[in-house]
Structures are given as structure tokens and as C-alpha cells.
Amino acid sequence: MLSDGLWLPVSMALYFGAAVAAVVCIVRGNATMRPALWLLGLALVVHTIAIAERWIRVGHGPYVDLFEILSSNIWSLHLAALIGVILVPSVRQSLATALPVLQVLVWWIVVVPLSGAPAPVTYATVWLPVHAVLGKIFLGCMVLAVGVAVAVLLRRAGIARFAAMPADSGLGEIIYRLVLVAVIFESLMLVVGALWARDAWGRFWAWDPLETWAFATWLAAVGYLHLRALRPPPPTLDAVLVLAVFVIAFATFFGVPFISTAPHKGAV
């Protein structure tokens, strides 16, 4: 990562700074979270420059190898967190839980080597960016839900640092709504992925590892919605269920594509 110019390492350092600032704000009782918000905004600006510079240099977008996919997801998920807390200021304190979760990706990219692999031929399609953007919106919604869910869990564990946030019932409703929107975008992602698969491999769906995991993610999210429709679970269980859905989604996005040799990986 460090050999890919200066902008990217600087942006990663700023993301780290934003996560630290968010936690410090919570510890000091600063409900505005302004230092974290400013650092996050600055990190996104610098990271945007890094992505654009690399895009121009290598001739394709950030979607070919693990390094590029991590980079684009770090960007999009942090952007989702920022937009989320701007649109719903009452959950601004969840930055202190969402940003540390995203540090998993930030530290991961630091150790990922640059492969310099060319984009597979099947990536030359309009469906790829649409598929990728829909997936990022889905995961962005899930990250926001997880940020709120972790805040609920910490509060339930006796950590009184999220006093400015709504009560657990209100947070539960916000989590539920985020998962509702996430399911829309995951469904669209699957449909667009099927269209791309038909162009790329001649079939809409073939139960390859990534397709299977993406379907399981959809089932998990839909299962959560049905469970809530059945009987809203207590806040702790509600938060744990959302975390479970997120873990499956995380494995789908960041685990399966890099351990499977299926065509979906873009293997040629």
C-alpha cells in the first residue's frame, strides 16, 4: 500500500485519526463529534484524490484485486457513515462504534500487496459499476446499522457514553429501517449481477461460491426483517442479530471473492 503514492497512506492515517477522535469525543462527552467529522471529511477528500490518481495511472477503476476492492470499500463505507450521521444527527455518536469497525479494512489494506493485475475481459461492461455501487450502498447501510447496534450493546453493557442518542427502542427502529433499505439495494445488486453474469459467462445464476454467499446474505437480512415482523426482539438480541447479518455480508464481500477460484473472481 505504501508504494502506491502518498495520498493513500495519508488518507488511511486520517481515517485512523477520525476513529480515534470519535472515541475520544465519546469519552469526553462531546456529543457534536465535530473533530471526528472534520477528520473523516478530510480523509474522504484525500482518499478520493488517491483513487482518482490511481484510476488514471492504471487505466481501470478500483475493482480488480483485493487492494483496489478494499480501497474502494473503505472510501464508500466511510462516506456512508458520514452521510448517515449528517442525515440523522441523533445517531452521530455511533461514529465512535462504526469507525473503529471500519478500521479492520484500513489496517487490512496496509498489509495487502499491490498485484497490478489487469482487469479481466468480462469487467468491460456497464453492469460492473452499477453492480459495485449497489453493493456498496447495501454494505454502507449495514455499516450504519452495525454502528448503531454496537452502541446499543455498549450501552446495555453499562457504558454510559452514548447519552445523546435516542433510547434503545428508537435505535432499534433506525436499525430496522436501515436493514429495510439495505435489502432493496442488495436485491438490486443480485439482479444486476445476474445480468452481468449472463453477459460474462452465459448464465444468470450458477450457485458459484460468491453467488451462494450473496444469496445467504439476502436470506439472513430478510430473515431478520421477518423476525422483527413476528415479534420485535429485545434490544440486545436485536443488535446481535444485525451483527450476525453484517458478519455474513462481510464474509461475502471480503472473504469469499479472495479464497475462491470460481469464475466470479474474474479468474481467467
Among 2, 124, 126, 237, the residue binding another protein under the rule CB under 8 A is 124
87 grid coordinates = 442525515
Q: Which residues contact 26 (CB under 8 A, 6 or more apart)?
A: 93, 96, 161, 162
Is residue 10 at the binding interface for another protein, with CB under 8 A as the rule? no
Is residue 200 at the binding interface for another protein, with CB under 8 A as the rule? yes
Dist. CA 127–CA 199, nearest whole Å: 9
Is residue 91 at the binding interface for another protein, with CB under 8 A as the rule? yes
Dist. CA 159–CA 217, nearest whole Å: 31
Among 3, 57, 111, 202, the residue binding another protein under the rule CB under 8 A is 202
Q: Which residues contact 147 (CB under 8 A, 6 or more apart)?
A: 81, 84, 91, 94, 95, 97, 98, 99, 101
Binding mask 149-188 for another protein (x = CB under 8 A): ------xx-xxx-xxxxxxxxxx-xx--x--xx-xx--xx
Dist. CA 158–CA 236, nearest whole Å: 12
Is residue 80 at the binding interface for another protein, with CB under 8 A as the rule? no
Return residues touching another protein (CB under 8 A).
87-88, 90-91, 117-118, 120-122, 124-125, 155-156, 158-160, 162-171, 173-174, 177, 180-181, 183-184, 187-188, 190-191, 194-195, 198-204, 207, 209, 212-213, 215-216, 219-220, 222-223, 226-227, 229-230, 248, 268
